[in-house]
Structure 1
Amino acid sequence: MEQNNIKKIVIIGPESTGKTTLCKNLAQHFNTLWVPEFAREYLETHGTKYTYEDLEAIAAGQLKLEDEMINRLSSQIPDANCLMIDTDMYVLKVWSEYVFEKCSPFILEAIAERKYDLYLLCDIDVPWVKDYLREYPDEGPRIELMTIYKDILIHQQTPWQIISGNYTERTKKAIRAVEAIL
């Protein structure tokens, strides 16, 4: 199957909203691969005290990983018709602007260049789960970040849907949303 026939579904949202769990569940359901969040690997390797410059390196790593998984998908599961992606450049943009009040042109250019077929925005209606890489356990920042993500998605052209409810409900809603574009 050619790469351009593969529908790319991006799961985004504030931290601790079940993005990785949803990616894994969708990949299993649709017999495909998923692209993990590169930031986790980067921070585990380089430490949690990151800089503005680190976010550009994380963005480059995320894009490279996405490309690698698209190539791997074509060879490992030739009949797959979609790829699940945990995080994209919108997440890096929000992260960068929220923490550093600016965003690298590299990230902004990647947003303009990369095309996706569906965004699934994970809602903040699940409990925050403590993790040494997570920074915003309080409700205020979670609400603020969710509002930022909604605003971004409203002002872009790719179809999107908010995914809410418990983890089972989220998976069912996400499956229906993906099926609608396949």
Structure 2
Amino acid sequence: MNSNGSNIIKIAVVGPESTGKSTMSAYLAKYYHTVWVPEYAREYCEKLTAPCTFQDEINMFYGQLELEKQYLPRANKLLICDTTFITIKIWSDQMFGHAPQGVLNELPNHTYDLYLLLDIDMPWQDDPLRDFPDMREHFMQVWHKELQELNANYVVISGLGDDRYQKAVAAIDTYLRKKANN
């Protein structure tokens, strides 16, 4: 059971920029006949008229939590989350040298049952909201570090096209089988 006390299994689709998190989340939600929580930061940042501030990071943290809360009752056994607020910590550390204290306090309390860490083996896709095409390896290492520090249950998903999707499904199915056998 995840940290919110429900019987809904929370699957987090995470990773560096341009690894297909949104596309993967939509695919998994359709495959498992459930809903997926979009990345709050994307919609938030699209509306910004100036560079992102530390306060914006805090706003995105609370927005992501609220969005998950709104989608949870609509989930069908699984809730697929297109990223998590760990992203706020990673971006804040990179851009401002530290993360909001509220994010740091909440990280160990707001866990997911399984994290799918999408690999950087797919081609970079330009997007006005993406900033670091030359730092993908760095951010992949950061994601590993952050997930390990949380003692998170995670699987790296690599490959292209259908192969990538099938590896994600296999990872979730393996998790579900293990959970059913416990």
Q: What TM-score comes out, normalization by structure 2 length?
A: 0.90
Stretch of structure 1 that moved more, 99-108 or 40-49: 40-49
Question: What SS does the aligned partner of 1:5 have?
Answer: coil
Q: How far off is 1:3 after superposition?
A: 6.7
1:1-182 matches, within 5 Å, as 4-47=6-49, 49-73=51-75, 80-138=76-134, 141-182=135-176
Change in CA separation of 1:48 and 1:168 when aligned onto 2, cut-off 3 Å: farther
Q: Any gaps of 5 or more consecutive residues in structure 2?
A: 177-182
Q: Pairwise CA RMSD of aligned residues?
A: 1.5
2:108 match: secondary structure:
helix
How many Å separate the matches in 2 of 1:65 and 1:37? Answer: 9
What is the count of residue pairs matched by the alignment?
173
Question: Matched residue of 1:46: which SS?
Answer: coil
CA contact (8 A) 2:7 2:77 kept: yes
Q: Which amino acid in the other structure matches residue 72 of structure 1?
A: R
Aligned equivalents of 1:168 and 1:44: distance in 2?
A: 29
What code does the residue aligned with 2:37 have?
Answer: V
Runs of 5+ in structure 1 lacking a partner? Answer: 74-79
How far residue 23 of structure 1 moved from its aligned partner, in angstroms, is 0.3
TM-score, length-normalised on structure 1? 0.90
Task: Please say if residues 3 and 70 of structure 1, whose CA atoms lie closer than 8 Å, have aligned partners that are also in contact.
Answer: no
Moved over 3 A (4+): none
Higher relative contact order (CA closer than 8 Å, sequence separation 6+): 1
SS in structure 1 at match of 2:107: helix
Q: CA deviation at 1:47?
A: 3.2
Query: Could you say which residue in structure 2 is the equivalent of 1:77?
Result: none
The residue matched to 2:156 in structure 1 has which SS? strand
